[in-house]
Amino acid sequence: MTDNTKALAPKAKATRILRPSRRTVLTGLGAAATLPLLGRFNIVRAQGSPLKVGLMLPYSGTFAQLGENITAAFELLIAQKGGTLGGRALEIIKLDDESNPAKGPENMKRLVDRDMVDVVVGTVHSGVLMGMLQVARESGTLLIIPNAGAGAATGAQCAPNVFRSSFSNWQPAYGCGRIAADAGYKKLAYVTWDYAAGKESAAGFEQGAKEKGAEVVQVLTVPFPETNFQPVLAQLPGLGVDAVGAFYAGGGAVQFVKDYAAAGLKDKLPLIASGFVTDGTLGALGGVADGLVTGLHYADGLDTPTDNAFRAAFKEKAGREADVYAVQGYDAAQLLAVGLEAVQGDFDQTDALHKAIASAKLDSPRGPMTLSPSHNPVHNIYRRVVRDGKNMVDGVAVEALADPGVGCTMT
């Protein structure tokens, strides 16, 4: 577990800025005596002090690179804004959540209760997010989700203080189901890790395919984060399917795509996967992924002024190409910027802050992005094809796709 602390701006500082704890600045006389009974809403924050942002992300394990890219792009946007958002400097505290769901609630509490952060930006893994959501809902802490697609966050467990800058698991998979059916495949299988993101992706793929007249006959899973795909791959040829949908990401995706090709399946059973299998992984995959078709809310070759500028700036900062995770980290910072600019840095104007974020219209590197009533991105799902080491855009599979937000009642 790492706990790197870094202050950003107005001048970047290497050490933590010391300031009175928020909980010592209470309203009214005798407030200290009633401290245990008070929620965070009774606390007056010093507006001149930096806003504390906890980045709860994987910096180790199969999703480590994802966490690094989210972080680099989040910091990039802040640097581009001169180190302040809405006139407020930011102090960033990083916590490696190891993509470990068992430690999710404890890690989130550590940021909220011990480090006293104002905002948490996290995380990548849907299972970890589920534990964070509970703490966010109970504490009222602003939570911006820069990747994890768990449907509940913008569905049954939606909340006024919870926003997502990434996607719901359902969205890209739904697009992939449509892409597969549009390509004429009728019988499909789905392979994935056995956890929330995999299950929700399988459901989205099935729905997209079904709406266009195709069916999923089998869903095969591997425990997260295992990479022994052989038992699953061995079953695919016997299923009598025309094509295969998939959800894997990070280091596991690299192994999966390599094993799929090595098993001789690439030319026999077209793979139409959520684009996480090839985003950020093409360097490690080399030519093995050439020709793969994927669906995602970002692509290479969009060639818009916004995306071109973002990619150049990210490359200069991070020394590597931008990917979907970088875009989501950048847009998490863009959402926070919209909120803080609307209240001129006064974080205590909670309702106005939430309202501004909820109605944000972002010029995202991915294209136009707004939030649905349940605070999930509404964005295009692109059809992409791997060519020359890039996930080249090959059309829009679904325009301005909104997650249905099932079960969300925003109270």
Q: Which of 111, 126, 10 is nearest to 56 (CA)?
A: 111
The Cα-based distances of 330 to 183, 187, 310, 364 in angstroms read 33, 38, 9, 8
* Residue 76 vs 273, nearer CB to ligand PHB: 273
Number of residue whose CB is nearest ligand PHB: 249
Q: Which of 389, 407, 374, 408 is nearest to 323 (CA)?
A: 389
Q: Which of 38, 40, 50 is nearest to 92 (CA)?
A: 50
* Residue 119 vs 249, nearer CB to ligand PHB: 249
Angle formed by the axes of helices 64-80 and 305-318, to 10°?
110
Q: Smallest distance, Å, CB 22 to ligand PHB?
A: 31
* Residue 86 vs 127, nearer CB to ligand PHB: 127
Helix (H) or strand (E) holding 144: strand 142-145
DSSP at 384: E
* Residue 158 vs 343, nearer CB to ligand PHB: 158
Cα–Cα distance, 71 to 82 (Å, whole number) = 17
Q: Smallest distance, Å, CB 326 to ligand PHB?
A: 12
Instruction: Judge contact between 279 and 327, C-beta under 8 A.
Output: no
Q: Smallest distance, Å, CB 239 to ligand PHB?
A: 25
SS3 content of the chain, % helix, strand, coil (to 5): 40, 25, 35
Q: Smallest distance, Å, CB 125 to ligand PHB?
A: 4
Q: Smallest distance, Å, CB 106 to ligand PHB?
A: 19
* Residue 50 vs 127, nearer CB to ligand PHB: 127
**Interface contacts to ligand PHB, rule CB under 6 A:** 124-126, 147-150, 169, 197, 249, 276
Q: Smallest distance, Å, CB 278 to ligand PHB?
A: 11
Cα–Cα distance, 12 to 1 (Å, whole number) = 24
* Residue 88 vs 379, nearer CB to ligand PHB: 379
* Residue 54 vs 122, nearer CB to ligand PHB: 122
Look at the block and give the residue holding tokens 């499909």.
188
Cα–Cα distance, 280 to 136 (Å, whole number) = 29
Q: Smallest distance, Å, CB 201 to ligand PHB?
A: 8
